[in-house]
Amino acid sequence: MIEYPKLFIGPMTKNVVDAIIKFCDAEKENIGLIPSRRQVECDGGYVNNWTTQRFADYVKQRSTLILQRDHGGIGQGDCSARASFTSDASSGFDLIHIDPWKVFTNVESAAAETVANMRFINSINPNCRFEVGTEEAIRKYEVDELEQFLEILAHKDPALFDKIIFVVIQSGTGIQGTQNIGTFDEQRCADMIALCNRYNVLSKEHNGDYLTSEQLVKRFNLGLSAINIAPEFGVLETKCILDAIETKEQFDTFFDLCYQSNRWQKWLPEDFELTNKNKRDIVMVSGHYVFACNQFIELKQQLQGIDTRIRNIIYHRLKELSCAIKSSLLI
């Protein structure tokens, strides 16, 4: 029986992937990788220009890490959902998160689309397992709605329901800039965990970025099965690069790439106004999106030993997270 990780991390950069592989090997840990469709996709993504197949090959040749597609489905990427699912299933992904909630916003339609997607993936690779539901930033749901959703899935296709490993629960997390701005609702979290237990599925929370060890421990003490963390690791690498930059010309090159990408708009408030004083804010939240650009690669070559420093910082954060989760399991 597979022991699924309690910690899933977005492969924001190649350095993040390499550091996780090294950490899991050295510390005998179990961490899952959760590429979004924009990071890694059948026709290439912003992380190292990896296609789904090349990414899967790179990881599986070096480790036994669990690979999971994060937010797979309609409205989550540029190519068709079916093309993306086909690539995921045929590339050997262990888990696929089916998330049609951007388009199908009521419980009944989201459930019907989820089942249709599971059937399609199962026809390609019956060994695939699933995560269902969505995070609060996409579509908030209450405990009774989540129960209705799970009941429909279980009724429509009981055999496929048995292949659902994780269900996304919501307890108030939310990310803006480089902070978790959510308000944790302990009772809601506990109720959703209890619901997952009744349906014999594992609970997973998204947007676990920038939480303290105490905040993580509290969630796992309630019985949370797993948590996703992603942009925090892109920010870690970006900060390390900013700290290493020595000239205004280097910073301006980095800033221009970030600003022109427009990716910062997702993470900063709608009323954000650019000034000379807050240029760094734009770079901090969007730096990782431009790491594969030729101009940035040329800039990075000027920063001696930077990759080693980055991987060491990521390794240290992985250790902190792992220790926090382990401490909660000992109580």
Dump pLDDT digits (tens) for 149-192. Answer: 999 999 999 999 999 999 999 999 989 889 999 899 999 999 99
CB 283 within 8 A of CB 254: yes
Residue-level pLDDT at 112: 98
Mean pLDDT of the chain: 95
Residues with Cβ within 8 Å of residue 203, at least 6 apart in sequence: 166, 167, 169, 192, 193, 196, 197, 223, 224, 225, 226
**233-292 pLDDT, tens digit each:** 999 999 999 999 999 999 999 999 999 999 999 999 988 999 988 999 999 999 999 999
DSSP sequence for 47-100: STT-BHHHHHHHHHTT----BEEEEESTTSSSS-HHHHHHHHHHTT-SEEEE--
Mean pLDDT of 65-78: 94
| Cα–Cα distance list, 190 to 195, 299, 302 (Å) | 9, 47, 49
Q: Is the separation of the CB atoms in 147 and 195 below 8 Å?
A: yes
Total residue count of the chain as it appears in this document: 331
Q: What is the distance between the alpha carbons of residues 309 and 193, in angstroms, rounded to a whole number? A: 38
Assess contact for 156 and 115: CB atoms under 8 A: yes
* Distance from C-alpha of 305 to C-alpha of 272, rounded to nearest angstrom: 34
- Predicted confidence at residue 330, as pLDDT, reads 61
What pLDDT shows up at residue 119? Answer: 98
Tokens of 56: 């899967």
- pLDDT score of 331: 53
Indicate the residue type of 81: A
Mean pLDDT of 6-23: 98
Query: Cα(103)–Cα(110) distance, rounded to whole angstroms?
Result: 8
pLDDT of residue 328: 79
27-64 per-residue burial string, b: 16 or more CB within 10 A, e: under 16: eebbbbbbbbbebbbbebbbbbebbbeebbebbeeebe
pLDDT value of position 77: 84
Q: Average pLDDT in the 118-122 region?
A: 98
Q: pLDDT tens for residues 206-242?
A: 999 999 999 999 999 999 999 999 999 999 999 999 9
Kindly give, in sequence order, each residue whose CB lies less than 8 Å from that of residue 319, ignoring residues fewer than 6 positions away: 23, 27
Residues facing 9 on adjacent strands: 33, 229
pLDDT exceeds cutoff 80 at 1: no
Nearest to 72 by CA among 43, 101, 51: 101
Share of the chain above pLDDT 70, in %: 99
13 close to 311: Cβ distance less than 8 angstroms: no
The mean per-residue pLDDT over the stretch 109-114 comes to 98
